[in-house]
Amino acid sequence: MISPYNDEFFMKQALQEAHKAFEFDEVPVGAVVVANNQIIARAHNFTEHLHDVTAHAEMQAITAASEFLGGKYLSGCTLYVTVEPCVMCAGALYWSQLDKVVFGTRDEKRGAGRFQNQLYHPKTLVLNGVLEKECSEIMLRFFQSKR
């Protein structure tokens, strides 16, 4: 049997969060945390609204997922995020010990990939390029609207 719950399905959910961020005039990055094919946390960038440079989608999602599970480690979980995590977020993802991180589009300027994924926990599988076009387009639209 083919499961409808795959990387594309969950990345579409993260994209919904990115669209919410766009509506709030936040950089449109969205994230969801999944455990056992169930979304346990949804988040998007909230840095402008909270006046908090650490309020990235990934950080918000880690906090919500940890609260849901009642612990600080996210073993057995996958994070789906529309844009490659930055160094700060990769560090937090390291400490949360996620099984898998899936992102849509690379961030050539600030992405953790500049360090060849050495910032992630050794057991964390990192995948990229899921719905890359859609994830990239919303970022381009946002920054074009700012010019």
Contact by Cβ (8 Å): 83, 109:
no
- Catalytic positions are 58
Name residues whose C-beta falls within 8 Å of residue 6's C-beta, 6 or more positions apart in sequence. none
Say which residue the tokens 């992630």 belong to: 120
Q: How far apart are the first and last CA of the chain?
A: 48
Widest CA span in the chain = 48
Could you list the beta-strand ranges (E) of the chain: 30-35, 38-44, 77-83, 100-105, 125-128
